[in-house]
Structures are given as C-alpha cells and as structure tokens.
A = this chain, B = another copy of it.
Amino acid sequence: MEYRFSERMKNLRGNSIREIFKLVESPEVISFAGGMPASECLPLDAYRTYTDELLSGENALSLLQYGATEGYRPLREAVAKHVGGMGIKASAENVLIVSGAQQGIDLCYKLFLNEGDVLLVEDPTYLAALHIAKTYRARAIGVRSEADGIDIVDLEEKIRTHRPKLLYLVPNFSNPTGKTLSEEKRRAIAKMTAEYGVIVLEDDPYRALRYSGRHLPAIKHFDQSENVVYLTSFSKTISPAMRVGAMIASRTLIAKLTVGKQATDVHTATLSQAVAMRFLREGELERRVEASLPVYRFKRDAMLKAMRRYFPKEAEFAEPEGGLFIWCKVPMPARELFLQAISQGVAFVCGSDFFADGKGEQYIRLNFSNESVDRIEQGIRILGDLLKR
C-alpha cells in the first residue's frame, strides 16, 4: 500500500542522534558524537542495590502496578526538595515526572505550539529541540548568541517582530556550544519574557556537571509570573537508560502537561522513578556527581590540550565550564571533514544540525565524556591532521 503520512511527518527524517547511535555501535570508532555520560561514572552498584531493596521491600508489588500520570509521589517530593536546594521554590504539585527530559520538550511544545507558531531558540541550540518543533509544524527562529549566552537585544527585537509563544534555552554549558548564560541575562530574560507573555522552557540537563566557576541561579529562580518551565534530567547524573526527568512549573501548567502526558505514555516506568527517588533521598546523587567531576574535568582538559596541540591556529574554540561538549569553528566545511574523519574512524556531529536555519557549516561539536583520554588524544590528532591538510 502507498502510505499517506501526515503533513508533520511526511518529510521528517531521523535527526543526527540516530546517526550517532549507529556510529557508536562499532567499538573501533573513536566517537566524539553522542552526548552520553561517561560509562565508567554510571553508578551500577548503587543502582543494583536500590533496585534490589525496592523489589524486596514492603511496597514492591505497587511498583509493578499502574501508577499516576503525574509521577511517583515520593520522587515528586524528592525533586521538589532537590530543586529547592538550587533556589527554585517548588512543592510536589509543581513537579511532573517525564520519561526523560526530552519528553518534557515534546509536552511543552504540545501544550503551546500551533502550526505556524514561532519558537525562539538560541542559535545554535540542541538539535532535538529543533527536530521536535518540526513535528508540530512550528517555526523555530534563531536568536544571536554571545560568549555569555543569548543576545538580549536581539531577543527583544525578535520577540517584538515574531510574537513567539515560547523561548527554548539551555542555560548551563549549552548543547552544542558549552556556553553558560550570565546571571545578569537570566534575570533580564525572566523579566522580559514575563512582560511580553512568552513561555520560557529552561532545559538544564548539565547543571550538576560544572568543572570550574560557581553555580548560577536558574532563570526559574527569577520567575515572578509563572511563565518559566524548568526541565531537569537524571540522564547525565544517574543513567540515561532509566528515562527519568522532571518538569517544574506552576500548578496550572503541570495539570495541563499531565493531560498531555496521559495521552502518550500514561506514566513513566515506576521502578526507574523509585530508583531515582532513592538516589536523591540517600544523598547518593550528590556523592556520585562529586566523584565523577574529576573524571569529566580530566577528559575536558585532555581534549582542550590536544586541540591546542594538534588543531591549526585557524580553529576557534572556547573552554566550557561544564557539560559534555566543545564547540569548534574549523577552517573547512564540517561535512567534508566528517566524511574524511569517519573513513579514519573518528566521529563527531556537524554544526549545521544545531542551527534553526541549517547554517553553521563551519562548526563541529565534540563530545569528550565517553572516550578514554588516550583515545581522545588519538582522535583529536587525526582530526588535526585532516584540518591541516
């Protein structure tokens, strides 16, 4: 039969994340693609202990039965307390548990975006935030970016011109650029979006992975008008495979987002939620993050050092204070470098995937978290040789 697909899906292909997963499947490839946490930092022992205790406990049977769409109540409470420690006031009623933070992006778009509506993003931005926008046939428009994050003047201009429903931002160690939004700008964004009636989707999966500098308050911390939706994730700090994230928003928004979630996966896997709750409640999350920071910092520094050594001086990059990525401008088309690199067993993601309008063909995103320092050096040397040819 000839299939008549919906308009939203007809021309949509898989985004580069799929490409990435497929590359990573071969262990010979040195992969700077992906955005995986360091495998050696995954807390397998604690995960197994908590799982075993939960499935041996008094309430074990209830962990196998249907649960509430809003999420497992003890996790909602633990998340409220957890974000409270970051300066975000919340009770359990302000928390919706999602099946990974990415589902939070999808639900937020579902709640606000009609076909043709404008979504503002920092340019460049997380590629899935652009990909999901396509499934709602919304228009993603990029806002200029500076060293300390989105350009406030350009943001206001684009808000006036395009009357967007939503602004999507990664405030800490942005994917792909590694940039951090300054405190001053966070405050200004909260104020400006409230004035213009724009929802801010603050996607903050990397916050805990800070290797230098001090933690900054979230945009949500400055939210006076309940127009900021804060999104957090346990994918980088506990396990991505468990698929657990959380949205923090006003009760009105949480109620509506819950209706949206109910219409897709009913609720998030309960055992995953209960394990996350144990990590939070026992303080194990903090301890694990503390223990993993030196590992990540070491890898970041190894990659930066190798880049300084092997890359031509025309290559431009900054040192990210945290997260998983180094963003680099290269003196040749990224697509070309990609093809040559792949043939020599090195992978990364081309920059153009992260721009709302597909520009950025001279940028590459390098992930440093999931390879050993030896392989990081080896891979960067190969890329450097190709760039110098």
Contacts and interface: CB of A to CB of B under 8 A. Distances in A.
Interface stretch (A14-22, A179-187, A205-213, A347-355): A14-22
Contacts of A134: 263
Copies of this polypeptide in the complex? 2
Interface of A: 1-9, 12-15, 17-18, 21-22, 34, 36-37, 39, 42, 44, 47-48, 51-52, 55-56, 60-61, 63-69, 99-100, 102-103, 106, 110-115, 117, 128, 131-132, 134-135, 165, 194, 197, 199, 225-227, 235, 239-243, 252-253, 256, 258-260, 262-272
A64 B9 contact: no
B55 A262 contact: no
Given A18-B69, A112-B6, A64 B47 contact: yes
A135 B8 CA distance: 14
B9 A128 contact: no
A114 B269 contact: no
Contact of A13 (B3, B42, B199, B259): B259
A9 B42 contact: no
Given A7-B114, A264-B102, A36 B66 contact: yes
Given A1-B226, A64-B242, A9 B256 contact: yes
A242 to B, nearest CB: 6
A65 B39 contact: yes
A48 to B, nearest CB: 4
Contact of A114 (B6, B197, B256, B265): B6
B259 A12 contact: yes
A5 B1 CA distance: 37
Contacts of A242: 64, 269-271
16 contacts: A2-B197, A5-B112, A6-B111, A6-B113, A14-B259, A14-B262, A15-B263, A39-B65, A42-B61, A47-B55, A48-B52, A51-B51, A64-B241, A64-B242, A100-B266, A242-B271
B39 A60 contact: no
A2 B241 CA distance: 36
Contacts of A266: 17, 100, 102, 243
B243 A269 contact: yes
Given A6-B111, A112-B4, A264-B102, A270 B252 contact: no
Contact of A268 (B15, B37, B240, B243): B243
